[in-house]
Amino acid sequence: MIKVQGLSVSFGAVQALRDVTFEAPTGQITAVLGSNGAGKTTLLRTISGLKAPVGGTIMLNDHSLVRLRPEDIARLGVGHVPEGRGVIGEFTVEENLRLGAMMAKVNLREGLEEQYECFPVLGERRRQHAAKLSGGERQMLAMARALIAKPSALLLDEPSLGLAPLVTAQLMQTIHELCASNNLTVILVEQNASSALRISDQAVVLHLGSVVANDAAGVVANDVNLRQYYLGMVG
Amino acid sequence: MDPFLTSRIVSDILSGLTNGVIYGLVALSLVLIWRSTGILNFAQGAMPMFATYLGMGLLSYHLSYWPCVAIAMLAGFAIGGLTERVLVRGLYGKPEINPIVVMVGFLIVLEGVAAAIWSTLPRGLPSPFSSIDWQLGGKPFALSDFTVFEIVTALVVMTAVALLFRFTKLGLQLRASALAPEVSKLLGVRVGRMLTLGWVLSTGVGTITTILVASNFFTGLTPQVMDGIFAFGFIAAAVGGLESPVGAIVAGVGIGIILQFVGDYVNSNAIILTALVILIVSLMIRPNGIFTKSTARRV
């Protein structure tokens, strides 16, 4: 479980997050939704240690993550797939996966086979440079690279960005299955609210850095005001 | 004995090979820093020079050759690590010109301090092996025990570095830290440590090279001992590709042999001109270097 309490983050005079509080339970997907500039990416970057908060706490089960370095947070079992995927284009698919597996106490061969089974296209392209993969394949690689370390929590930042609707639907289904089969704590940041709400258990809606809704995904999906004013969903 | 073996052509090839492996080692040390931190180190000749003075200076205190080499290597590692931590760490992410200016300044400082401490007069180092050319059928053959030692050392270092980057976890982390530091951190890589290690390894390779150069009977150790060699090594790194350890050595050897022929058959004054022409033509045809597949990040 990831528990965020009273989290505030600033970029100079600009406050990006104000007193954000929510819980992301184990084995469930928590969607973080909101328009551009709502603070979604900043929230994930703060949880994974890339940005220091000015106040508040972040707990991963019993561990406080505040003031830890990103590499230490990763070693505690938090996998972060950043916006734009963050695969290393100069590395082959397999080198990207080897890098992901490096810090975890997992058998590399078994880990690779597991990911190739889950994402068969990566197995077929294991010797190819990541730069030559399509957008969807890169997203799969980024997720496989995070999953190979057997994380207990997975932070996904805009995984559907730039993907075709069909690929997005498949990806969301994969995220849903992975969360259930690995008992993961997933925090899913998305602009594509309808896709995210379809697979999520909880939803947190951010607006200008503040939480405006924190409820079950079904409740948020059916709230006309939230849909219209904060999620840009019509009908 | 086949007279071809002692001919001028074979002699030039072997002499060029001996010079070329030195250029290749300098290029390799530049590649090491580039691949692990994305910085071109213009003090790459001066830092190992300083370490070599510190280690080999102990010869004056009746320490024998190999312990002095070991101490010089340790000094090289320490200088590399300290330089990264103290001087370079704050330069990451800054405009590309910043590290270049700082490292050129550091080169000048190191050479000045070395001159003030040890003087600019060449200091002869004993050679661990004979520098006298071998004889074939009573004629000189352009190899000696020492030049063979140089070539073998270069091959061993090159192989070790290539294996490190290609097949080890450490090599993968070094490359990842340079290419994508933020992503590497998110995967648990201790990026700061990797950056320091890149400089440690690079200065170690540079120190081996400087000891080989200064142990040559005709050179000796001076504060500027690596200046000219650094220029040819830099050209080799650019021609071979800053991402490629193998490219660094192959280009270094190639340039060494070409320049030897130019010096012997054309004019020794044409050597630098030829090196620059090689650089320009190479950058026009293959801007990323002959052996680099990936796109250039910054120059």
Q: Take residue A17 and report the two structure tokens written for it.
A: 């997050």
Q: Are residues A191 and A141 in the same domain?
A: no
Fold topology of B3-285? ABC transporter involved in vitamin B12 uptake, BtuC (1.10.3470)
Instruction: Kindly list the residues from chain B whose CB atom is less than 8 angstroms away from the CB atom of residue A99.
Output: 172-173, 176, 184, 187, 189
Q: Is residue A221 part of a domain?
A: yes
Asked if B203 and B47 touch (Cβ cutoff 8 Å), the reply is: yes
Q: Are residues A142 and A161 in the same domain?
A: no
CA nearest to A142 within chain B: B183
Q: Which of A23-37, A160-174, B234-248 has the lowest mean pLDDT?
A: A160-174
Q: Is residue A190 part of a domain?
A: yes
Mean pLDDT over B186-194 rounds to 94
Strands A14-24 and A2-11: antiparallel
Nearest CA-CA distance, residue B298 and chain A, Å: 14
At B297 the pLDDT is 45
β partners of residue A129: A92
Residue B70 has pLDDT above 70, yes or no: yes
Strands A153-157 and A185-190: parallel
Please tell me the distance from the alpha carbon of residue A92 to that of residue A103, in angstroms, as a whole number.
18
Looking at chain A, the number of H-run helices and the number of E-run strands are 10, 10
Please tell me the distance from the alpha carbon of residue B123 to that of residue B60, in angstroms, as a whole number.
11
Nearest to B220 by CA among B152, B119, B297, B144: B119
Mean pLDDT over A1-6 rounds to 96
Please tell me the distance from the alpha carbon of residue B34 to that of residue B100, in angstroms, as a whole number.
12
How far, CA to CA in Å, does B195 sit from each of B32, B62, B136, B179, B299? 10, 36, 49, 11, 19
Reported as a single tens digit per residue, the pLDDT across B11-56 is 899 999 999 999 999 999 999 888 878 889 999 999 999 999 999 9
Nearest to B25 by CA among B240, B219, B224, B169: B240
Can you list the positions of beta strands (E) in chain A? 2-11, 14-24, 29-33, 55-60, 63-64, 78-81, 153-157, 185-190, 202-207, 210-216
Mean pLDDT over A131-159 rounds to 92
Cβ neighbours of A52 (radius 10 Å): 11
Reported as a single tens digit per residue, the pLDDT across A169-204 is 888 888 898 888 889 999 999 888 888 999 999 999
Q: Is residue A235 part of a domain?
A: no
Nearest CA-CA distance, residue A232 and chain B, Å: 31
At B67 the pLDDT is 95
**Number of domains forming the structure of chain A:** 2
Instruction: Kindly list the residues from chain A whose CB atom is less than 8 angstroms away from the CB atom of residue B244.
Output: none
Q: Do A71 and B191 touch (CB under 8 A)?
A: yes
Residue A57 has pLDDT above 90, yes or no: yes
CA nearest to A90 within chain B: B294
Q: Is residue A60 part of a domain?
A: yes
Q: Are residues A6 and A72 in the same domain?
A: yes
Q: Do B172 and A98 touch (CB under 8 A)?
A: yes
Q: How far is Cα of residue A16 from the mean position of the Cα atoms in its chain?
A: 19
Q: Do B185 and A70 touch (CB under 8 A)?
A: yes
Would an 8 Å CB–CB cutoff place A99 in contact with chain B? yes
Q: Tell me: ipTM over 0.85.
A: yes
Reported as a single tens digit per residue, the pLDDT across B139-180 is 888 889 999 999 999 889 988 988 998 899 999 999 899 889
Q: Is residue A186 part of a domain?
A: yes
Nearest CA-CA distance, residue A115 and chain B, Å: 16
Please tell me the distance from the alpha carbon of residue B96 to that of residue A116, in angstroms, as a whole number.
39
Q: Are residues A182 and A143 in the same domain?
A: no
Q: Are residues A102 and A47 in the same domain?
A: no
Instruction: Kindly list the residues from chain B whose CB atom is less than 8 angstroms away from the CB atom of residue A80.
Output: 186
Q: What is the DSSP string of A57-105?
A: EEEETTEE-TT--HHHHHHTTEEEE-TT----TTSBHHHHHHHHHTTSS
The b-or-e profile of B146-178 (16+ CB within 10 A means b, else e) is bbebbbebbeebbeebbebbeeeeebbbbbbbb
CA-based angle B18:B20:B24, to the nearest 5? 125
Q: Do B186 and A99 touch (CB under 8 A)?
A: no
Q: Are residues A99 and A208 in the same domain?
A: no
Instruction: Kindly list the residues from chain A whose CB atom is less than 8 angstroms away from the CB atom of residue B190.
Output: 71
CATH number, position A63:
3.40.50.300
pLDDT band at B2 (very low <50, low <70, confident <90, very high): low
Instruction: Tell which phi-psi region holds residue B84, choosing left (phi > 0), alpha (psi between -120 and 50) or beta.
Output: alpha
The structural domains of chain B, with segments of one domain joined by +, span 3-285
Nearest to B197 by CA among B70, B83, B48, B47: B83
Instruction: Kindly list the residues from chain A whose CB atom is less than 8 angstroms away from the CB atom of residue B288.
Output: none
Q: Is residue A82 part of a domain?
A: no
At B183 the pLDDT is 94
Instruction: Kindly list the residues from chain B whose CB atom is less than 8 angstroms away from the CB atom of residue A74.
Output: 185-188
Q: Are residues A182 and A128 in the same domain?
A: no
| Facing residue for B169 by CB, picked from A82, A91, A102 | A102
Nearest to A209 by CA among A17, A14, A9: A17
Q: Do B172 and A74 touch (CB under 8 A)?
A: no
Reported as a single tens digit per residue, the pLDDT across A206-233 is 999 999 999 999 998 888 888 777 677 6
At A170 the pLDDT is 86
The sheet with strand A153-157 has its strands ordered as A78-81, A153-157, A185-190, A29-33, A202-207, A210-216
Residue B217 has pLDDT above 70, yes or no: no
pLDDT band at B298 (very low <50, low <70, confident <90, very high): very low
At B131 the pLDDT is 86
Domain coverage including residue A163: 2-77+151-230
Reported as a single tens digit per residue, the pLDDT across B246-276 is 888 899 999 999 999 999 999 999 999 999 9
Would an 8 Å CB–CB cutoff place A80 in contact with chain B? yes
Q: Are residues A65 and A172 in the same domain?
A: yes
Reported as a single tens digit per residue, the pLDDT across A40-51 is 999 999 999 999
Please tell me the distance from the alpha carbon of residue A44 to that of residue A65, in angstroms, as a whole number.
12
Q: Are residues A51 and A25 in the same domain?
A: yes
Instruction: Kindly list the residues from chain B whose CB atom is less than 8 angstroms away from the CB atom of residue A149.
Output: 187-188
Please tell me the distance from the alpha carbon of residue B149 to that of residue A92, in angstroms, as a whole number.
36
Higher per-residue pLDDT: B193 or A234: B193
Mean pLDDT over B62-87 rounds to 95
Residues contacting A13, CB < 8 A, separation 6+: none
Q: Are residues A72 and A157 in the same domain?
A: yes
β partners of residue A11: A14
Q: Take residue B206 and report the two structure tokens written for it.
A: 């540079």
Would an 8 Å CB–CB cutoff place A103 in contact with chain B? yes
